[in-house]
Structure 1
Amino acid sequence: MVTTLDDTKRNAIGAKLAGMKLIQQLLIDNEQQFIRECSDGEIVENLRRMLDDDQKNQGILATVIVQYGIQAQPKENLQDLVQQIRQLMEGNELSFSEKVFQHELLKHQQVMTGLVIHKAAQKVGADVMAAIGPLNTINFENRAHQEQLKGILEILAVRELTGQEADQGIWARVQDAIAAISGAVGSAVTQSSDKQDMNIQDVLRMDHNKVNILFTELLQSNNPQKIQEYFGQIVKDLSAHAHAEEEVVYPRVRPFYGEANTQELYDEQARWPIVFEQLQSLSPSAPEFKDRIRQLMEEVMDHVRQEESTMFAAIRNNLNTQETEELATQFKSAKSRIQKEIARTRGANV
């Protein structure tokens, strides 16, 4: 019998992503505190730019986690570490430059975690690579932030130790780091990746791409364990996607997309849980299992083609940019909540 047990590697990556989100919020809180405490206008301006990047990157991380499909918790030791750092940042034990030094270490940790997730995803599956792709933007910007913080640290530390200004040539490196963030390379990365202001078409298209990759990976595999893993992820992803669409998207588009067209989308998705249950009664090594998966893939991709052609066109013609972005935010919020509900239900049934 095919089960839909969570794959340990995917759960481990999910916990790493949750840890990145936790650290990202700490970075934001630190930078807001630094801006309040710092009296150097030039450093404050650089910190404001960094804060803008980090707030945007927190939105990217939230989208990546929803797209990844596993709502995990950071490890307890990381949660304890974050709490300890918060206490240090809020207290008087460290000087301002020492606090910035700890902040730079957090940036380094965030860079290495992002790189490790990227490398691990290469080993787990193409669908994981597709889901975490926007991390490339965060990794790039955090690496540039590190260089910027090193320059700021030198200036602050020299002031604290000598009471004099550091060699202003240090600012050349700081400005180089800023250029790396906001210049041509950084812009290219950011423009080609996820953004906070994605519209609903962008978000749905990402979901469609990921499930297509999962189907393809499953059909190409001859390993029963991997087939079981891919099938389990297909069930979770399609279930969360469908429920979120039915809660948020379809009611919004029904007035201008039409009753018949919208109801057709509802009806198609209503079939999927029935097919999932039928497939769970089959062995993943049975020839008929892949035959049924191919049939399901054809049904899902037909559904996708309808959404991406006629429904997306109706959205473009009837909703403005702000409305499509708000709909994307509502969809991601609903999907995140549904993913957590699915995880709780599965945990209760184990």
Structure 2
Amino acid sequence: MTDTTNIATKLADLQLFQNVLIESEQTLIKETSDDTIRERLEKILNQDRENLSDIQKAVAKLGTNADARSVSQAHAEKVKEMMSGSELTLFDKFFEFELLKHQQTMSGLVLHKAAQSLDDDLQDAMEPLNKVNFENRAHQEILKGVLYFAGTRELAGVEPDMGLWASVEQGIAALKGAVGSATSSS
């Protein structure tokens, strides 16, 4: 396979899992009764819909279409099945969702770095992924808080300390500051 074909295939995987994230968010929004968590998930959902558009821009700029790998398609189906089924608790579903978000973040970062190391045209094609990658990283911070809340409720049967959301927000602000510094100095 050529470099462009490899990148196109991984980009197809990224697009596939972006759709799975969106479907998972819609499921989780319906299943949670916590207004704060639902509000945060709705914000993530809106950003992920925009991020799907950015991924599609990268596909178009690359100019080489590929299909997601069969192993990725099977994994996506398994995740959809778990998220829509009743075997997992809500905490388990949030945990699976966070793992998928982490996978998406790392895949996007590696794709961007690989393209950057190959040539200027590939780097330019992957540029829309920058925003996607940074937002996915911020989503991971939010999901950490969601996991703490859902996990404490499920495992201990008590409400977690509300100060946790403040520390999550501080983590996101620090991440955005670092991103702003990195992009303004390049």
Indicate the residue corresponding to 1:290 in structure 2. none
Q: Residue 161 of structure 1: CA displacement? A: 1.0
SS class of match (2:166): helix
Determine the C-alpha separation between the residues in 2 that align with 1:45 and 1:178.
Answer: 16
Indicate the residue corresponding to 1:19 in structure 2. 13
**2:121 is matched with which residue: 119, 127, 134?**
127
- For each residue in 1:277-315, what CA deviation from the matched residue of structure 2 results, as whole angstroms up to 9, or x when unmatched? xxxxxxxxxxxxxxxxxxxxxxxxxxxxxxxxxxxxxxx
**2:154 is matched with which residue: 151, 157, 160?**
160
SS class of match (2:121): helix
Q: Residue 125 of structure 1: CA displacement? A: 1.0
Indicate the residue corresponding to 2:85 in structure 1. 91
- For each residue in 1:13-58, what CA deviation from the matched residue of structure 2 results, as whole angstroms up to 9, or x when unmatched? 0001011000001111111111111111111111111111100000
CA contact (8 A) 1:27 1:106 kept: yes
CA contact (8 A) 1:64 1:134 kept: yes
Q: Residue 9 of structure 1: CA displacement? A: 1.1
Gaps of 5+ in 2: none
Indicate the residue corresponding to 1:10 in structure 2. 4
TM-score, length-scaled by structure 1 = 0.50
Indicate the residue corresponding to 1:33 in structure 2. 27
The code of the aligned residue for 1:74 comes to: A
**1:47 is matched with which residue: 29, 41, 60?**
41
Indicate the residue corresponding to 2:135 in structure 1. 141
Indicate the residue corresponding to 2:75 in structure 1. 81
Determine the C-alpha separation between the residues in 2 that align with 1:39 and 1:69.
Answer: 43
| Aligned sequence identity (%) | 43
CA contact (8 A) 1:145 1:177 kept: no
Determine the C-alpha separation between the residues in 2 that align with 1:152 and 1:138.
Answer: 20
Determine the C-alpha separation between the residues in 2 that align with 1:9 and 1:169.
Answer: 47
TM-score, length-scaled by structure 2 = 0.91
SS class of match (1:172): helix
- For each residue in 1:148-189, what CA deviation from the matched residue of structure 2 results, as whole angstroms up to 9, or x when unmatched? 1011101101100111011222112332355468x6777899
Determine the C-alpha separation between the residues in 2 that align with 1:178 and 1:122.
Answer: 26
SS class of match (2:130): helix
CA contact (8 A) 1:141 1:186 kept: no
Indicate the residue corresponding to 1:277 in structure 2. none
- How many pairs align? 183
Gaps of 5+ in 1: 1-6, 191-350
State yes or no: 1:151 paired with 2:145. yes
The code of the aligned residue for 1:75 comes to: R
Q: Residue 69 of structure 1: CA displacement? A: 0.5
